[in-house]
Amino acid sequence: MEVEQVNNLENKPFILGMDVSFMDEIEQHGGSYSDVDGKQQDLLSILKLNGTNAIRLRIWNDPAGGFCNLERTVAVAKRIKEQGMQFLLDFHYSDRWADPANQWKPKAWENLSYEELQRAVCTYTADVLSTLKENNALPDMVQVGNEITPGMLWDEGRVSGEEHDTDEQWERFAGLVKYGIAAVKSVDSNINIMIHIDRGGDNVESRKFYDRFEALGVEFDTIGLSYYPWWHGTLDALRDNLHDLAARYGKPINVVETAYPWTLEQPEEHEWILNQEDLLLPGYPASVEGQKRYLQDLLQIIREVPGGLGQGFYYWEPAWIPSKPEWSVGHPNNWGNLTMFDFKGRKLESFTALTASKHSETETGTLKGSALIK
């Protein structure tokens, strides 16, 4: 299939991104970061020096603890812009985690009617982006929802389970998303809209979701997928899915969440979300070298998506070091072996996978329209 030119890709570099949403809380509670030589540095500076060109932040409406709200998002977004990196803002439309198991409305919206909920999504989205614009920290890309495979703003926008997987519910869900998209475009029509689900290696469910949105006339720019091998299948399954989605929809695709362990060691009082060797990909041990190899091969798969539609990736929370046992949202630190920094905040050598990828891009050209040019 020959893919036509895609909007918002012209002359855009391949995205080598990092989600550092916990950085603010870590810094404010005494955590720090250093390069391999142990010299303490600003995290964003370390990331930029080691190949990162884009940062992703989540935003919660009114979170416990006061991190990842609008005020703190503005403060961190200004730092991202000062570093000259691209900025992706991820609206969860919740006071806490929104993911395939949790898509609960913010407390302030719990008693709204469906029509009032649509207006709330529109007003809130526009207000957040207008505030960022006033602070010269407007995002380049926006996610309208986070891992919204089962819908969002439950139960009005829920489409998971036999009871909710109906034409009527999909229309209501799509209606909420459309109001979010309209709000983004009202602030700046050049902002790239990503629609993000969690099924990186699941082509059947990915097609079901994006076919629905296409049929319902949801207009967006980028497909976003989460891909964690222990949940979403093999790298071959990811490759097959990316190729099929590119051919079917002709949109840029971003693996907007991924991670891989650099150790299975569990310090006392910590229990990692991935701590079993039998959940690892064959040939990719839980070591710094294994993490590096995983990233190298993942990036190659994304670069090889037909039509130049592999937009790039974001590593999810590479800097979520176990500097605290418990976080302001009431979440234990279960990610410390999936970071790209050691337990003390020292950068791992797996970052060389990014710098090698940037060198590869310099040799092969940049993305223009829907194809690589030299």
Active site residues: 147, 257
Beta bridge partners of 88: 56, 141
Of 9, 13, 44, nearest to 365 by C-alpha is 13
DSSP class of residue 107 equals G
Return the ∠ at Cα 103 (arms to 97 and 104), rounded to 5°.
Answer: 90
Contact between 259 and 317 under an 8 Å Cβ cutoff? The reply is yes
Helix segments in the chain, DSSP class H: 23-28, 43-49, 70-82, 114-134, 167-187, 203-215, 229-232, 235-249, 288-303, 352-364
Q: What is the end-to-end Cα distance of the chain in Å, rounded?
A: 22
Closest to 20 in 3D by CA, of 62, 52, 61, 64: 52
- List, in order, residues 6 or more apart from 350 with CB less than 8 Å away: 262, 288, 289, 291, 292, 295, 340
Q: Which residues of 133-170 are buried (b: 16+ CB within 10 A; e: fewer)?
A: eeeebbbbbbbbbbbbbbbbbbebbbbeeeebeeeebb
Confirm if 369 and 305 have CB atoms less than 8 A apart: no
What is the rounded CA–CA span in Å between residue 275 and residue 282?
15
Burial class (CB in 10 A: 0-12, 13-18, 19+), 99: middle
- Supply the DSSP symbol for 105: P
Phi, psi of 17 (to 5 degrees): -110, 160
